[in-house]
A = this chain, B = another copy of it.
Amino acid sequence: MTSRDGYSWTEQTGLRPGVPSIGVITPVTNVVSSNVLYDVVVIGAGYCGLTAARDASLSGLNVLLLEARDRIGGRSWSSNIGGYPFEMGGTWVHWGQPHVWREVSRYQMQNELKNSFDFSYGVNHFQLNTAGGSSTMSHDEEDSLLASALEKFVNVDGASGRNIMPQPANMFYVPEARDLDSLSAQDRIDAIASSLSPSERAVLEGFVLLCSGGTLKGMSFLEFLHWWAICGYTYQGCLDYLITYKFSGGQSSFAINFFREALFTKRLSYAFNSPIQSVNDMGNKVEVTTRDGRTYQAARIICTVPLNVLSTVSFNPPLPDGKLAAIGVGHVNQCVKVHAEVSDKNMRSWTGVTYPSNKLIYAIGDGTTPAGNTHIVAFGSHQYHMQPEEKLDETFAAVKALAPGKMDVQRLVFHNWSKDEFAKGAWFFSPPNLLADHLEDMRARHGNVFFASSDWALLWRSFIDGAIEEGARAAMAVKTELAETGKISPQL
């Protein structure tokens, strides 16, 4: 099936909207009657909503899953082109990500990981294109350079962040961490600038922009420190957790299991192409209305709409001030992710940073396609932003600038997350102060409406893992509450 989402380009076809994905669900709905009071309506079929719908239906609740798009997966989905998966959004996983891996092992997918890196091909180096010129170095030298730069960046406590954030699932366990959240990445770089070599500074800025998809001034230093902590407080950990292991069949091959298991209970109703207009909490039940005027009622709602999109849904009674303030601030990630298939097989072992000023900053050889071409994945951020489908010449130029003379582009594949009305950006990344001021506000329920999203997860916030964490939290809360009110089988 082909999703409306995403773009692809080849010389033969030109630029085309929509790419094939196994995450597209048909029929688009299995709802037969509109006159049903559900136990819970789950808004959104990303990993968070899929988990919530699955866990709730497994525990005996009647569930309606509503999704604006034509597919599952939200900000993590893959396009399978000629048998080869291109990850349009969230990609990498690791066995140390608890909520992801619990599902990987439960669905027996432990042997379906492949490594994005393969350093056995000819162009086996790291290329740094920066203001001072272009240079290449071995991947070991790349690792040393990045590790050195990042260690200086995070070392606010003489212990590489371990003292200030010893329990990353409890981010403000050390109260001083809250004060640190006023710093931007730029503030921290300014404070350590004299200790950084020009190369260290270039790769450091490139790497933190890769993580945030934002700008140096707009991104929270503390949120980066949180990433660092969950990655085990080392650069090697960042590599292992953030950018190494992906599913051989693509993310949609993982997500589909959640949907199928929920459907298997026979307690899951669903409707795709169903963006939400409003949520009206009447106290004894809640009514949701889609943009095309359909209404559904349930005892509880689990709303997984991302922070940057929540303002498009009308809530009655209105959301409380703290949540509105968080929505008003929003998150800063406007990552640009572009896949390029290039004809040079040997680029498989290449990695590179081109910074500043190029619109794609960080890229790696990510695979070999069925045609024998190298699959390059490249990332830009809000710092030097572009809309990749708008000016294709600019997009080609940005790809080619990563490794001049070596990027003979055969195919492009991408999803423009900034112009996606149901995402308004990529994975959550906090600006300064948002987490210190409003993490609990974002996590709070509002009457019969539970809010669940990776955007406010506690551990792997912003990641697929955090989405599953949050979906499980919401389903557990709804199940427990409905059981206590006598809806489902009660007490010890």
**Residues of B with C-beta under 8 A to A230:** 95
**C-alpha gap A458/B106 in the complex (Å):** 12
Q: Are A168 and B105 in contact (CB under 8 A)?
A: no
Q: Are A105 and B169 in contact (CB under 8 A)?
A: yes
Q: Are A476 and B106 in contact (CB under 8 A)?
A: yes
Q: Are A99 and B102 in contact (CB under 8 A)?
A: yes
Nearest CB in chain B to that of A101: its residue: B98
> Within the complex, which residue of B100, B102, B111, B260 is in contact with A170, where a contact is CB–CB below 8 Å?
B111
**Residues of B with C-beta under 8 A to A459:** 95, 101, 105, 110
Nearest CB in chain B to that of A232: its residue: B232
Given the known A-B contacts A232-B240, A265-B489, are A105 and B473 also in contact in the complex, defined by CB atoms under 8 Å? yes
Nearest CB in chain B to that of A60: its residue: B60
**Residues of B with C-beta under 8 A to A144:** none
**Residues of B with C-beta under 8 A to A98:** 95-102, 105
Given the known A-B contacts A95-B459, A105-B459, are A492 and B169 also in contact in the complex, defined by CB atoms under 8 Å? no
Query: Residue A372 at the B interface, CB < 8 A?
Result: no
Contact mask A394-405 → B, CB, 8 Å, 1/0? 000000000000
Question: What is the CB-to-nearest-CB distance from A69 to chain B, in angstroms, rounded to a whole number?
Answer: 20
Query: Residue A115 at the B interface, CB < 8 A?
Result: yes
**Residues of B with C-beta under 8 A to A245:** 167
Nearest CB in chain B to that of A267: its residue: B489
Given the known A-B contacts A102-B98, A170-B110, are A489 and B458 also in contact in the complex, defined by CB atoms under 8 Å? no
**C-alpha gap A263/B489 in the complex (Å):** 10
**C-alpha gap A476/B97 in the complex (Å):** 21
Given the known A-B contacts A101-B459, A167-B113, A232-B237, are A492 and B96 also in contact in the complex, defined by CB atoms under 8 Å? no
Nearest CB in chain B to that of A240: its residue: B232
**C-alpha gap A237/B233 in the complex (Å):** 10
Q: Are A169 and B110 in contact (CB under 8 A)?
A: yes
Q: Which of A's residues lie within 8 Å of B, judged by CB?
A: 58-60, 95-102, 105-106, 108, 110-111, 113, 115, 166-170, 173, 230, 232, 234, 237, 240, 245, 260, 263-267, 458-459, 469, 472-473, 476, 483, 489-492
